[in-house]
Structure 1
């Protein structure tokens, strides 16, 4: 009996030690994640912070990077949490998935003045240069669908600027991301046009750990996230993550 008690105590000490390991949290500024007065916030960040605090993981730091850099860190270093990352079959083994925070619908946009750009379907769209972020869901999706004229950027702001400067002809973005970038870059959104004929791409956006992160950390974080889901905390945050300008 004493041996069993010691075993339980030892396991508890090991778990506490694992959870004490500092976590590097990486993300990119977007309509979901904001930077105001030097503080990283937004509804998605709130969900992440509440989850980590509930899990007892208080030793963490959130860092903003261009998406390509954040993705590179999360796929190559231990003890990294990335958000928001699209969950796809190709990425399934690259991360340890914690929980779904939001869903996104991406539409193709062009400059309204470019009346010469008028694709009627995805086959038509392949002839145009398309701006995407390296290792973003849209990059992988379009590669999978045999798009070859992809122009890569490190992050959202750079990619958006390429459209405005006519260095690319199309970019896939959510409606709310377009509105966010127009406001951030002081650009008149009425000068952009969403191409309805091409439909949309849809992705489920998660928080996820790097694959080399300890399983005890991952499981404790998953449990915390599920508790917040059941309490309605996540769904309340999701109300501000809808794809609306």
Structure 2
């Protein structure tokens, strides 16, 4: 029995996979991401770059936006990779989840000088003005829990400055967020006070794709990320951010 292979089939077998579209990588300002000399940098950014290069997805552009814009792009446009995005039950069907980069815990912070602000527990914190980022997981979570005195900002920097200017009383942040905001604002972090832990917001932060992204792109990225994770590369990078 002879096996015949057409020229088209032969080319399919020997031609390497070609990336069809540019991947638009979006993120926000965090302790793991930032801008230096006009380039998006940071520990999480390095993880994403290594992952895409390992996946042989070389055609990508990384941009830093206010969270609401980055989130909207990932919700409505094809070939968008967003990081770091909290994976929650409410978001499960909205994105193609690729890999867990890290896990964070949020706390409610206030200015130490505001001795009048003393919520007994998280539910008691409802009576204070709390600063959040538009469409951020903290915004979505607190809204779902019936918090109505939420003051929405476009960026973490704006949110933190509202705290410093007494426009809000509380801000949910990770310890890393607090340290980064103090450094950027040249504010003495010892003048912040961590009041309460949002126990139900122990959030895994992921790399994820928009739903309109081809499955093959997602799978190549997922496979590459898992390889880097297994090799200890991801934890090593995040440990030095």
TM-score by length of 1: 0.91
Instruction: Judge conservation of contact 2:111–2:193 (CA < 8 Å) in 1.
Output: yes
**Structure 2 counterparts to residues 234-245 of structure 1, below 5 A:** 234-240=234-240
Structure 1 counterpart of 2:125: 125
Alpha-carbon distance in structure 2 between the residues aligned to 1:71 and 1:33: 16
Q: Any gaps of 5 or more consecutive residues in structure 1?
A: none
Q: Is the 8 A contact 1:108 1:172 kept in 2?
A: yes
Q: CA deviation at 1:12?
A: 7.2
Kept after mapping to 2: 8 A contact 1:120/1:198: no
| Match in the other structure for 2:79 | 79
Q: Indicate conservation of the 8 Å contact 1:44/1:101, yes or no.
A: yes
Number of aligned positions between the proteins: 239
Compare the two structures and name the one with the higher helix fraction: 1
Q: Given the superposition, is the C-alpha separation of residues 112 and 79 from structure 1 closer, same or farther in structure 2, using an over 3 Å criterion?
A: same
CA 1:4/1:165 → structure 2, altered by over 3 Å: closer, same or farther? farther
Please report how far the alpha carbon of residue 240 of structure 1 lies from its aligned counterpart in structure 2 after TM superposition: 3.4
Larger radius of gyration: 2
Flag the 1:205–1:8 CA change in 2: closer, same or farther, 3 A: farther
RMSD: 2.0
CA contact (8 A) 1:108 1:171 kept: yes
- State the TM-score, normalized to the length of structure 2: 0.92
Contact 2:77 2:210 in 1 (8 A): yes
Q: Is 1:98 aligned to 2:94, yes or no? A: no
| 1:37-78 deviations in Å (ceiling 9; x for gaps) | 222211101100000001111111110111111111111110
After superposing the two structures, state which structure 1 stretch, 151-160 or 34-43, moved more: 34-43
